[in-house]
């Protein structure tokens, strides 16, 4: 037997497959995590991409807003890299009293003070003021303009009022925007709910009843209307600088890119593709995938990034087995209700009338589950939710494998194993 360890929550599930089975392992290219995060930040600052050094971008007297991802991205380890960024700002003449950390909640809920401390570290919350960009608080946003596609660019006043804006976050494959990071700190990060809805509506097919827009997908930037609209809004704000994380496949931080908000991010996308874009020999009958453990499987909404990528390695008529703990399976609050809509066409119609990102994920998930059987290894209390989502729950791998074999109905099936599927994009030949 061949054993594989798949992240699951804060632990791991160890599975065994017959060694004679045709198995292809799809994971990020081996890339070591840095030993000294602060030193890696300083290295990125020493070689900014497309921009002068940070010390020449900010100056004494500037009010600086640092935009940071929320707790669903705690794996980026803000607590390790933000102090180095603050130190760099201090060295440039900007004291902590002139720095505001703006939590880019997007459409997520507000943090508690304890969650701020857990996400950003007690040193950071003790040094700078923290404001939260809560998308539904309409009075908290100002309009910068309108994009060429008609989207009102409404941004948190805490960001818009700053003299200089610095974006932080992480770059990874993203199932709608192509890649995370960069301009996504602005939209959806610190944008109003109306702006988020309008921008993300581009993910739907232009034809009612057509489902989702094929131009919006992992790794796709050229022609992706959601990405292009986000970039227009970011350009209106014109952030002064960017510091983005590139995560290592085995955990930790592989490195950083720093510099111009667009050019440095684009270089980061190329580095991410070199690590996490995984050429595969062929699509297989069975794909066994993990979202990557906590926080990537904190809820079903986040964990579906893994099933999206797993589908790229699966044959038509195949099966996906996905490991996702989902301790808070129904978050965000407006997510679970979409699965109460009985048909996918009705779900799409409702989404066109009142677009939400969770609603889009629910539609895309339903369309994917109708095409390829999904068996979800998760907590027992999640069974009813998984069934409502059109998928098959399983308490452990043995049960999941038996269900998959019954569906495949044949021996000699081929297998792909993806330990970090939320981040890894299979690239089949052709």
User: What is the DSSP track for 65-83?
Assistant: EEEEE-GGGGGG-HHHHHH
Q: What is the pLDDT of residue 430?
A: 62
For the cut 90, the answer to whether the pLDDT of residue 275 exceeds it is yes
Q: What is the pLDDT of residue 257?
A: 98
Q: Note the CATH architecture for domain 37-274.
A: 3-Layer(aba) Sandwich (3.40)
Question: What's the whole-number mean pLDDT along residues 349-363?
Answer: 87
- State which H helix or E strand residue 121 sits in: none
Say if CB 347 and CB 294 are below 8 A apart: no
- Between β-strands 392-394 and 373-377, what pairing exists: parallel, antiparallel or unpaired? parallel
The Cβ of residue 362 has, within 10 Å, a number of other Cβ atoms equal to 28
Question: Between residues 195 and 138, which one has the greater pLDDT?
Answer: 195
196: its two tokens: 């988020």
Question: Between residues 422 and 324, which one has the greater pLDDT?
Answer: 324
Kindly list the domain boundaries of the chain, sorted by start residue: 2-28+281-428, 37-274
Question: What's the whole-number mean pLDDT along residues 337-351?
Answer: 93
Cis peptide before 147 (omega within 30 of 0): no
Query: DSSP readout, 163-193?
Result: SEEEEEEEE-EETTTEE-SGGGGTTTTTB-H
What does the radius of gyration of the chain's CA atoms come to, in whole angstroms? 21
Give whole-number Cα distances, 108 to 111, 285, 334, 360, in Å: 9, 36, 10, 15
Largest CA distance in the chain: 70
Question: What's the whole-number mean pLDDT along residues 306-310?
Answer: 93
Q: Which residues pair with 141 in a beta bridge?
A: 156
pLDDT band at 1 (very low <50, low <70, confident <90, very high): confident
Q: What is the pLDDT of residue 109?
A: 87
> Class for domain 2-28+281-428, per CATH?
alpha beta
Q: What is the pLDDT of residue 330?
A: 84
Question: Between residues 230 and 305, which one has the greater pLDDT?
Answer: 230
Beta-carbon contacts of residue 38 (< 8 Å; ≥ 6 apart)? 80, 81, 83, 84
For the cut 70, the answer to whether the pLDDT of residue 259 exceeds it is yes
| Cα–Cα distance, 58 to 46 (Å, whole number) | 15
pLDDT band at 316 (very low <50, low <70, confident <90, very high): very high
**CA atoms within a 13 Å half-sphere pointing along the CA-CB vector of 6:** 32
Question: What's the whole-number mean pLDDT along residues 345-372?
Answer: 90
Give whole-number Cα distances, 320 to 178, 347, 369, 413, in Å: 22, 23, 9, 13
Give me the phi and psi of 392, to 5 degrees please. -110, 120
Quote the pTM value. Answer: 0.83
- How far, rounded to the nearest angstrom, does the alpha carbon of residue 352 sit from its chain's CA centroid? 23
Question: What's the whole-number mean pLDDT along residues 215-232?
Answer: 96
Q: What is the pLDDT of residue 357?
A: 77
pLDDT band at 19 (very low <50, low <70, confident <90, very high): confident
For the cut 70, the answer to whether the pLDDT of residue 77 exceeds it is yes
pLDDT band at 394 (very low <50, low <70, confident <90, very high): very high
For the cut 70, the answer to whether the pLDDT of residue 175 exceeds it is yes
Average pLDDT, the chain: 94
pLDDT band at 381 (very low <50, low <70, confident <90, very high): very high
User: Which range is least confidently modeled, 19-23, 118-122, 292-296, 301-305?
Assistant: 19-23
Query: DSSP readout, 289-323?
Result: EE--STTTTSSHHHHHHHHHHHHTTEEEEEEEEEE
For the cut 70, the answer to whether the pLDDT of residue 134 exceeds it is yes
243: its two tokens: 């510091």
206: its two tokens: 């232009």
Q: What is the pLDDT of residue 251?
A: 82
pLDDT band at 402 (very low <50, low <70, confident <90, very high): very high
Question: What's the whole-number mean pLDDT along residues 400-406?
Answer: 95
pLDDT in tens, 78-130: 999 999 999 999 999 999 999 999 999 998 889 999 999 999 999 999 999 99
| Cα–Cα distance, 233 to 144 (Å, whole number) | 8
């Amino acid at each position: 037997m061949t054993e594989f360890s798949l992240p699951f929550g804060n632990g791991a599930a160890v599975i065994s497959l017959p060694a004679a089975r045709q198995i292809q392992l799809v994971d990020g290219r081996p890339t070591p995590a840095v030993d000294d995060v602060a030193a890696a930040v300083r290295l990125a600052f020493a070689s900014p991409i497309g921009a002068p050094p940070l010390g020449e971008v900010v100056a004494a007297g500037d009010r600086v807003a640092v935009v940071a991802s929320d707790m669903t991205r705690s794996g980026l380890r803000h607590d390790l890299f933000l102090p180095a960024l603050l130190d760099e700002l201090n060295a440039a003449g900007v004291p902590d009293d002139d720095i505001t950390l703006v939590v880019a909640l997007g459409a997520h809920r507000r943090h508690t003070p304890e969650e701020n401390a857990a996400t950003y570290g007690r040193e950071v919350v003790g040094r700078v003021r923290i404001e939260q960009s809560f998308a539904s608080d309409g009075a908290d946003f100002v309009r910068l303009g309108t994009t060429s596609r008609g989207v009102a660019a409404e941004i948190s006043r805490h960001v818009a009022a700053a003299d200089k804006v610095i974006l932080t976050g992480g770059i990874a494959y993203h199932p709608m925007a192509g890649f995370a990071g960069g301009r996504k700190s602005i939209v959806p990060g610190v944008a109003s709910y109306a702006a988020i809805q309008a921008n993300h509506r581009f993910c739907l097919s232009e034809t009612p009843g057509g489902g989702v827009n094929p131009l919006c997908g992992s790794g796709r930037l050229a022609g992706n209307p959601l990405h292009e609209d986000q970039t227009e809004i970011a350009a209106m704000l014109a952030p002064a600088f960017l510091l983005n994380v590139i995560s290592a496949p085995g955990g930790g931080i592989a490195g950083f890119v720093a510099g111009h908000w667009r050019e440095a991010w684009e270089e980061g996308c190329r580095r991410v593709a070199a690590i996490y874009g995984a050429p595969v020999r062929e699509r297989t009958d069975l794909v066994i995938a993990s979202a990557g453990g906590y926080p990537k499987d904190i809820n079903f909404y986040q964990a579906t990034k893994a099933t999206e990528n797993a589908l790229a390695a699966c044959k038509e008529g195949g099966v996906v087995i996905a490991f996702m703990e989902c301790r808070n399976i129904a978050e965000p609050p407006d997510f679970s209700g979409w699965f109460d809509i009985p048909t996918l066409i009705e779900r799409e119609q409702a989404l066109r009338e009142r677009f939400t990102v969770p609603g889009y994920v629910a539609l895309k998930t339903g369309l994917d589950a109708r095409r390829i059987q999904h068996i979800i290894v998760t907590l027992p209390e999640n069974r009813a939710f998984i069934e409502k989502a059109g998928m098959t729950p399983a308490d452990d791998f043995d049960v999941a494998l038996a269900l998959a074999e019954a569906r495949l109905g044949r021996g000699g099936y081929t297998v792909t194993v993806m330990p970090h599927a939320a981040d890894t994009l299979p690239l089949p030949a052709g």
